[in-house]
Chain A
Amino acid sequence: MIQIKDLNFGYPRQEPLFNGLSVQLEAGSITGLLGKNGAGKTSLLKLLTGLLHPQSGEVSVLDHNPRKREVAMLNDVFFVPEEFYFPAISISDYVKAYAPFYPRFDNEMMGRILVEFELDGKSNLQKLSHGQKKKFLIAFALATRCRLLVLDEPTNGLDIPSKSLFRKILAGSLDENQLVVISTHQVKDVENLIDKIIILDNGKVIFQKTIEEISQKVSFISGNSPEVSGLIYSEAIPGGYRLMVPGGEEETSVDIELLFNAITNGKKIG
């Protein structure tokens, strides 16, 4: 679904951001795009959606070149940016104005998600809080049934109940033909949701594995001391340590934050 090969990109009068970046993603997964501040997560998402143009290299999304912004691609790609603008109209008017552009738009799903997010169709979009606006945009994105959903920091601005609701709704609204790419630095918010992790650092993909592959190779445990045989990485936490150790027979849930810190500190797994 997404193929990026030898991508080079940088902003004018700045150091190049991506040097020969390559990524391949297939449908049927929720991929977490992680990286430090300034690693280029948002820029990569914009390159995928055609909002930025690469200097060289190949980017293919749903067999289209995003740079051309062809309707056949735009019909099937929805980008939820971190910052967005809404006109001063009601939710129902917004749906009336924008939904006809998406051939598979599901009005029933839109209504259901709005109810779950406790949003009223008559509310004026500009009078909603930032979190409510974001919930509306996520609801709209899901209702478009686009094959590629690109979410940039989707949980920023959401309150705690909304974050768990977001996870529940996202997991329950997708099918196997869809791919969701979530860029976030709030990894706890997407734990138990994402099934593939990509970590960006210094303009390259330094880690790309599924949660299944990770949990087969490493375990995440708590302990009183970091001195454990085969220890890959450890971090002090209140009352002890979180430890990343080679995988045993028993699979543990993946501690994405610990994994991210381990990888960006140069640790290797598998």
Chain B
Amino acid sequence: METNNIFSFRRLVLLCKQSLILNRKMIVIALTGFVGVLMIAMFFFQAMSEFKNWQNRDSEVVFVSLFITLGILYSGLSFPAFRSKEKTMAYLMLPATSSEKFVFEILTRIIVFILLIPFIFWVVANIEGALVHNFVPELINYKFSFVETHTIKSAPLENEAWITFAIAQGILFVFIAPFTGASHFSKSPLLKTLFTLTMIVAGYFIFIYLTFKGLSLNEFDADKNHILFITNKNNALIAFAIAATILNLCLITISFFRLKEKEA
């Protein structure tokens, strides 16, 4: 029988089934914990706003904070097999290709999170809101909707597609950077990733600062002397979106090759 050595959907399904068998207790505990903490946090914040001042936008602030924080923590736990030599050996010897193992990691650590957390938040926020409203009628805005906040706009934004794309790439970067860090570092990957990113960003700003000082670029008039093709805010936005996309693709590629070339 010919074996597909590149990608098999059947083996990807096997990886998912395997993960469910190995982690079912952890999944139940994590979901229960998340729902519980979310309910308590929502109630706490609503109480802080004396219930009557609570708005849909406030729920969204809670969501964004949770989504980003948990996303960083969760994607920082990617490639759990790489945390010890014994686990790495078992993982690398499992009969599935690097591409299947990689897709499985992306799927469970990024895609499922991005799709599932907003849905869980929406369900929990509405249940919690209804429950609290039952006992505290002052909570008037207890129904939560993602759509409501975004439909109230003063005027359509110029280049909206690029804005959405740039935001999406920015959010993806928040997930992909810890994901790549987890593929690279064996011990404390999230801490090391944050440290590395801080070093890169700080190094970049120091370099820019010194360059400006050394070359007297502070006399450069950005409005008159445009840098390359960036001639206005729109171009800057497009440049950011493209740069973020390239960066994300590079990080994804790096993590794939870290998995493919991993030794134990």
Residues of chain A having any CB pair with chain B under 8 Å? 46, 49-53, 68-72, 74-75, 77-79, 81, 83-85, 87, 89, 93, 96-98, 100-103
Q: Contact: B95 with A101, CB < 8 Å? A: yes
Taking the closest CB of chain A, its distance from the CB of B183, in whole angstroms, is 16
A90 — nearest CB in chain B belongs to which residue? Answer: B21
Residues of chain B having any CB pair with chain A under 8 Å? 1, 3-5, 8, 11, 14, 17-18, 21-22, 84-87, 89-90, 92-98, 261, 263-264
Q: Which of A75, A79, A96, A97 contacts B89 (CB 8 A)?
A: A79
Q: Which residues of A contact B22 (CB under 8 A)?
A: 87, 89, 93, 97
A101 — nearest CB in chain B belongs to which residue? Answer: B95
Q: Contact: A101 with B96, CB < 8 Å? A: yes
In the bound complex, what is the Cα–Cα distance between A74 and B95 (angstroms)? Answer: 5
Number of A-B contacts (CB under 8 A): 74
Q: A74-B96, A96-B21 are in contact. List 13 more A-B contacts (CB 8 A).
A: A46-B263, A49-B93, A52-B263, A53-B261, A70-B97, A72-B3, A75-B95, A78-B93, A79-B93, A97-B17, A100-B14, A101-B18, A101-B94
In the bound complex, what is the Cα–Cα distance between A69 and B97 (angstroms)? Answer: 7
In the bound complex, what is the Cα–Cα distance between A102 and B98 (angstroms)? Answer: 17
B88 — nearest CB in chain A belongs to which residue? Answer: A51
Q: Contact: A85 with B90, CB < 8 Å? A: yes
Q: Contact: A69 with B92, CB < 8 Å? A: yes
Q: Contact: B21 with A97, CB < 8 Å? A: yes
Q: Contact: B264 with A51, CB < 8 Å? A: yes
In the bound complex, what is the Cα–Cα distance between A50 and B5 (angstroms)? Answer: 15
A–B pairs, 21, beta carbons within 8 Å: A49-B93, A50-B92, A51-B264, A53-B261, A69-B92, A70-B3, A70-B5, A71-B11, A74-B94, A75-B3, A78-B93, A79-B93, A83-B86, A85-B90, A89-B21, A97-B21, A98-B94, A100-B18, A101-B18, A101-B94, A101-B95
